[in-house]
Structure 1
């Protein structure tokens, strides 16, 4: 299970590259995306599509190849597999079939957000993407707030303002750190109360990029 860059290709690890080189096949969330990554590092390998929609079926193919003594590497589109990405089903099925699963650590937007939060939360929960439906999203936010622990969310540019508005409705003084396009050319990190960050984004004519949000456990 290979962690790959979340944006900046310079964040690939030496061990990840060595793992790709020794693999007989590389299973991946999006073959086009992984092909681009391999091409950048001048590698060519047979690819197997293993995405959320076909993960169980792909896992059976991978297990068959393992039975032939092949080495298989798996990479999601970006970051660490199984963190809001495919991978968990594959791990469960491969291990149940009696084969070892080896982690190859790499980049993770979750770890990045914890490292730059600066809030001192003693415990942090990874939540990932909330429901796109406002009612369900807001109910889950209220449950998370009741835990009084920090938590990390992922959100698209199309719903980031709605997410921050929901948080503001619950506690407009809650400290948040918002990362946009982490590790990429247009990386931006905003820190302050949720009402301040919400106002900043509402002032923009357009909002682009993928977002990660760290919410402090207390006001």
Structure 2
């Protein structure tokens, strides 16, 4: 039976790809990509010749219909995100939901995840955690959202663009106090930085090290117990 393969790809280091993922990407008829330019770097590195097609936030409805139609005609298609595991803060969830609703088989090919990578190296109590993803961009809405998490007892994971992370840290301080945070930047890449400390210490370190405000940021926030 033909299927949609949800394939995790590296979040930085190209060696963080599974043997199974490479086999699937070579075997399928098409690879649906959130960013074809970034996926082409990976496929070129591993000499994968499978044709790439675009599937992203702005074309997901039309593209999803075409992908499902192709699977029903007998083609196997892989879905990959810009980096990491698809459906974690990306448009892949729309396609997978349609597949499930239309009884199209979905097969997960697990692999790299920035959220789980940060968790594993944080040193926080991560027996239970909550994934939040990207917060609202407008500060008022973001603060209201954070306020709803104030009674949360689990570590929660946030993705934040580097350009706005200082404002986010100010909001977290205002609402939660001097909590402990794991600041994970550029995971698996050359300038990887992972450090867990009180938020006030983290803010001081960022002021003294502007390079920490570059790249992709994953924050793990541990509420006060």
Task: Give TM class, smaller chain.
Answer: over 0.9
> 3-state SS of the aligned residue for 1:153?
strand
Q: In the alignment, which of 201, 207, 218 is matched to residue 212 of structure 1?
A: 218
Give yes or no for contact 2:55–2:64 (8 Å, CA) kept in 1. Answer: yes
Find the counterpart in structure 2 of residue 95 from structure 1.
100
Alignment correspondent of 2:3: none
Aligned twin of 1:131: 136
Over the aligned positions, Cα root-mean-square deviation in angstroms equals 1.3
Higher strand share: 2
Query: Which residue of structure 2 lines up, in the alignment, with residue 180 of structure 1?
Result: 185
Structure-2 residue corresponding to 1:53: 58
Asked if structure 2 preserves the Cα contact closer than 8 Å seen for 1:55 and 1:90, the reply is yes
CA 1:218–1:71 in structure 2 vs 1: closer, same or farther (change >3 Å)? same
Match of 1:37 in 2: 42
Helix, strand or coil: the match of 2:157?
Answer: strand
1:62-211 to structure 2, matched below 5 A, reads 62-206=67-211, 207-211=213-217
TM (norm. structure 1) is 0.96
CA distance in 1: counterparts of 2:185 and 2:72, whole angstroms: 42
Q: CA deviation at 1:217?
A: 3.0
1:191 alignment partner, SS class: strand
Runs of 4+ in 1 over 3 A off after TM superposition: none
Rounded to whole Å, the distance in 1 between the matches of 2:129 and 2:62 is 34
Is the Cα contact below 8 Å between 2:7 and 2:109 reproduced in 1? yes
- Deviation for aligned residue 1:171: 3.1
**Count of residues in Structure 1 that have an aligned counterpart in Structure 2:** 219
